Amino acid sequence: MDNPILLTAKEASDMLRVPLSTLYRLTKQGQIRGFKIGKQWRYRKEEVSKYFNAGFNFIQRRRYTRINCNIASNFGIIKNISAGGVFLESVSDSINVNDPIHLNFTLKLNDDESMLVEKDARVVRRDEQNFGITFDRPLMALESR
């Protein structure tokens, strides 16, 4: 490409949907190549796209392990769950980031046991019809997993 498209740090972080601090950390670690023009960082769009398309190689820094699942809830289908929250697929357009919600679902503990779960939670992320939801308090049944 003779004239590569250059992105500002803000444009690159928006494209990756990460904070500027994460972009700078990835640059420092050599995971994304950037360069300075004066005091400002610039990124080639093709480099940012390559990183995005390769998938994020972030170290898992979650407090609780996620468990893939397919659980019906009052807001849609829970695709994965941890003691700290859920990732939810929903057809609802009425849920927005920062909205408090009251989530209801049944968690199967083993072949013979299940429990009805009712949790106060908050929407922390939204992408089309997918939602990241964090519980106000950890789900004790999953805390040790």
Which pTM was predicted?
Answer: 0.56
**CA max distance for the chain:** 65
Whether residue 84 contacts residue 138, with contact meaning beta carbons closer than 8 Å, is answered with yes
**pLDDT tens across 39-88, in order?**
999 999 988 888 877 665 544 456 788 888 999 999 999 999 999 999 99
**pLDDT tens across 10-25, in order?**
999 998 888 999 999 9
Retrieve residue 96's tokens.
């927005």
Sheet of 6-8, strand order: 6-8, 40-44, 34-37
